[in-house]
Amino acid sequence: MKIAVWGDFSGVTCKEWYVVKALHRLGHEVFEIPKQHFPKRILIYGAFKNNGVQDPENWIVSSLNRMGNIVQTIEKDNLIKYHKRHILERCNQFKPDILLFIKPNNIPADEFREICRECGSITAIWNFDWMLAEGHKEWFVPMAKAVDYVFGTDGWKDEEFYKKEKINRFLLRQGIDPVRHYAIKEITEQDLAKYSCDVAFVGSLYTAEREYLDRFLRERYYYKLFGNRPENQVWYEEFAKLCKCAKIIVGDNFVNDVDGYWSDRVYLTLGHGGFLLTRYVQGLEHEFKNEEHLVWWHDYNDLKNKINYWLPKEKERKEIASKGYLEVQTKHTYDLRLKKMLEIINSGQKSFTDIITNA
């Protein structure tokens, strides 16, 4: 059982430590939450539409609430103009300890700098793409310079850039919300008809490379594509059903040549119990073990060979999927990511190079 213990852990003789040790002896997984750090009043600016179907902001709010924080949100899509006035009014009313922005790309840069100067809170950004890519870098860098903390899923070879620009940036990966992301046990005949296949891919075909991957799989295997249109999105229980019914889930990334950067579908697929055959990116081996938690591929010939190898090995696939599921559910949750984020902010840590993995 996972148990969070909230208390005063500031001294070696405090009774909280005896409670933690006793729970460890009973075989429980225990997380200490120092009460001097919580609760925090946190105001989050981001996209919360669609009840969290496609936006991890809602998963972040859920995790922060479970940790005992007091959280309020600002829906970015409701603000077309007057961002500064609206955000500062909310800050004045709520008086947050932390103002956290999730992809604030619709705020003019000059307004954003003024918000950060005048809000009276610690400011932070957490973004979920490679932010030095064309189309992101232009708006992201000025904002990153304005906040106290930057958290991102970028590759670690970008460290020199952030150091040169004097951006206080930490690498903090995405993960899963264990309340929403889980393996499903029971499926129906209808589920099998919809999701059963040898190979599946989940994602948009937004590049020529993705279109080629789709054709490559479609021409060779009993294959199904999900996530490329609004009517065939798979989230939460539907994603879990797909992972239960499809023999192999093939993974790909927004970019495949940035060391240390990969799609959050790595965590989501494993977190739903799927057997994942994903495109290799350097650094993936620091979080997962190949052929133990997942399997990776390097080029299309390798992809074909590995699909052909693993398709008949049902027992081995299930063993790997089970280990990958356990790895993600215990080490890669938003609860753990946000605990690490708050530890960094609480400590006043300044670093251009810290890499946060297995938070």
- Is the Cβ–Cβ distance between 17 and 44 less than 8 Å? no
pLDDT tens digit sequence for 209-267: 999 999 999 999 999 999 888 888 999 999 999 999 999 999 999 888 888 889 999 99
CATH number for the region 189-331 comes to: 3.40.50.2000
Query: DSSP string spanning 271-303?
Result: HTT--EEEE--TTGGGT--BTTTBEEE-SHHHH
Would you say residue 156 has pLDDT above 90? no
Look at residue 42 in the predicted model and tell me its pLDDT.
97
- 253 vs 269: CA distance, rounded Å: 13
Look at residue 357 in the predicted model and tell me its pLDDT.
43
- 108 vs 325: CA distance, rounded Å: 41
Best-predicted range by mean pLDDT among 73-82, 160-169, 288-297? 288-297
Is pLDDT larger for residue 14 or for residue 217? 217
Q: What is the mean pLDDT of residues 61-73?
A: 94
pLDDT tens digit sequence for 79-110: 777 789 999 999 999 999 999 999 999 999 99
pLDDT tens digit sequence for 38-62: 689 999 999 887 554 567 899 999 9
The structure's pTM equals: 0.84
- 353 vs 171: CA distance, rounded Å: 8
Around Cβ 233, how many Cβ atoms within 10 Å? 15
With CA atoms as reference, report the closest residue to 181 among 266, 114, 121, 250: 266
Look at residue 154 in the predicted model and tell me its pLDDT.
74
- Is the Cβ–Cβ distance between 181 and 270 less than 8 Å? no
Look at residue 36 in the predicted model and tell me its pLDDT.
53
Distant-in-sequence, close-in-space partners of 287: CB < 8 Å, separation ≥ 6: 173, 332, 357, 358
Look at residue 358 in the predicted model and tell me its pLDDT.
42
Look at residue 359 in the predicted model and tell me its pLDDT.
47
Look at residue 243 in the predicted model and tell me its pLDDT.
98
Which residues belong to CATH 3.40.50.2000 in the chain?
189-331
- 39 vs 185: CA distance, rounded Å: 36
Would you say residue 10 has pLDDT above 60? no
Taking all residues of the chain, what is their mean pLDDT, rounded to a whole number?
89
Residue 255 identity = V
Look at residue 230 in the predicted model and tell me its pLDDT.
82
Look at residue 44 in the predicted model and tell me its pLDDT.
97
Which residues belong to CATH 3.40.50.2300 in the chain?
38-175+333-356
Q: Which fold has domain 38-175+333-356?
A: Rossmann fold (3.40.50)
- Is the Cβ–Cβ distance between 226 and 234 less than 8 Å? yes
Of the listed ranges 163-172, 198-207, 348-357, the least confidently predicted one is: 348-357
- Is the Cβ–Cβ distance between 266 and 203 less than 8 Å? no
Is pLDDT larger for residue 156 or for residue 131? 131
